[in-house]
Amino acid sequence: MVMSKMLHLYLTVIMAIVKKDFRIELKNKEMIPLMFIFSLVVSLIFSFLDISFENIGGRNKDFYSGVFWISILFASILGFSRSTMIEKEAGGLMQYSTVPVDSSAVFFGKLIPNFIFLFLIQIFVYLFLLVFFRVQVFDRYFLLLLISSISLIGIASVGTFFSTLSAKTNLREIFLPILMFPILTPLIIASIKATSVLLNGREWGEAMDWLKLIVVYDLVSVTLASLLFEKLIEE
Amino acid sequence: MSVLVLFIFLMLIFSFVFLFKIEKGLNRWLGLMSVGSFAWALYSIFYVAKLDRFQSAPQKIFYIHVPSAWISFFAFFLVFIFSVKYLFSGRTKDDLLANSFAEVGVFFNTLVLITGPIWARPIWGVWWTWDARLTTSLILWLLYVGYLMLRSYVDEFERRARLSAILGIFAFLNVPIVHYSVLWWRTLHPAPVVIRSGGMADLPISMHIALWSSCLSVLLLFIFLVRKRFNIGELLNKF
């Protein structure tokens, strides 16, 4: 009885934070446009590179898988640091240490909106691949979306965790990429490999090993981040 | 050549006298032993150990490269241990120790990243390649430089200790995943030749002498540096 009450409270806290983030987004209309434009700019820069190599729509699609993940990664940096800065300016980060349940609820409450924003952005970035680079993403659109969404969980959890951490330093959000990129290396390698298997039209079974690595990374990062989050937000 | 030997000899004498003058207690003996064993290690590297049949002289750098790599991994492991300890105990000492291990570990890891390319250029023909072990050491270096940067960007003591302990744990537990991911990605580095799963490899005894004396001197230097860094940290903390 007590357990179910605690669980209910836990879920209420998560839902409250998720709702708050969506309400801020609906009101300001800031993060999704920002991430959208930024990923567009990054894709555009890479298309210049592609034109100079005269490789548009070339046979090997490894390059486009890289473009996809770099755009996502750079856009995510902006998104994470912006959402954490909004919290910090309003004094929200300080209030979180007073939630009546385990602090991991706060982490999951922040993780879910960050993940959903990234999920929306990746749909667009696949369209950029189609338009700018003539990559036939629609052949396996759902499989691509599925695999990249699984690794977006890892990016969102590491991003949520380290943007909160860097918000507490003097450098604030500028410090985020320095911490986040090295930590994300395994995930990025695995995601680029898995996506390029699909983009090249090879059997999707070849991506299985990389997918396993992505899942392991997700599990480790979500577990670690939710366990350490309590120490992170305490003042 | 003999000028170089003379120069190194003078440097060793100088550091011997210098350490004897400025250090006291255990640190003095650690420093002196470290310099002494380093002198012996240099001698055994160049005069005792046989030349490698295939790699000839460039192989000698392995006697510095390998001990530094081992000790830096060990240092990062200790950062992890003391970070966990700090989060549970909250004692200042654990945090200062974790910081000392991280700094000295970064120093040795930098040595690894400098000596590696010097060896790789004549043997592989390139300074750098994206092999698993190279990539892992570079990412380790980036992670722990990030750790040290994090410490310098937080002013308040308690918060600095807590944040860096969190990063110390997160970074270390990430290392195995980094290693396996880049291992599957590509591998070129020579397989370990000293310790294999089937026990000691068949290196000639003269090479073992050179390697283990170099290990001893690196270990002594490591303990000496960590103790110095810890003392400095304690003094800084006091004022």
The pTM of this model reads: 0.88
Q: What is the pLDDT of residue A50?
A: 75
Whether A217 sits inside 8 A of B87 (CB atoms) is no
Min Cα separation B38/chain A (Å) = 34
Q: What is the pLDDT of residue A180?
A: 92
Whether B174 sits inside 8 A of A189 (CB atoms) is no
Whether B143 sits inside 8 A of A183 (CB atoms) is yes
**Per-residue pLDDT for B197 more than 50?**
no
A31-41 pLDDT, tens digit each: 899 999 999 99
Tell me the pLDDT of chain B averaged across its residues.
86
Q: Report B:123-162 residues touching A (Cβ under 8 A).
A: 135, 139, 142-143, 146, 149-150, 153-155, 159, 162
A215 touches chain B (CB under 8 A): no
Eight-state DSSP code of residue B50: P
**H helix runs in B49-154, sequence order:** 62-89, 92-124, 132-152
Residue with tokens 């605690």: A6
Whether B153 sits inside 8 A of A175 (CB atoms) is yes
Residue A200 dihedral angles phi and psi, to the nearest 5°: -80, -5
CA–CA distance, B120 with B66 (Å, rounded to integer) = 14
Cα nearest neighbour of B178 on chain A: A186
Cα nearest neighbour of A158 on chain B: B170
Residues of B in Cβ contact (< 8 Å) with A231: 87, 162, 165-166
**Per-residue pLDDT for B201 more than 80?**
no
On whether the CB atoms of residues A55 and A63 are closer than 8 A, the answer is yes
Q: What is the pLDDT of residue A228?
A: 92
Eight-state DSSP code of residue B52: B
Instruction: Report, as an integer, the average pLDDT of A78-91.
Output: 86
CA–CA distance, B123 with B10 (Å, rounded to integer) = 31
**Per-residue pLDDT for B97 more than 90?**
yes
Contacts of A172 (CB under 8 A, 6+ apart): A81, A85, A88, A166
Instruction: Report, as an integer, the average pLDDT of A95-106.
Output: 85
Q: How many CB atoms lie within 10 A of CB A200?
A: 15
Q: What is the pLDDT of residue B194?
A: 59
A140-163 pLDDT, tens digit each: 888 889 999 999 999 999 999 999
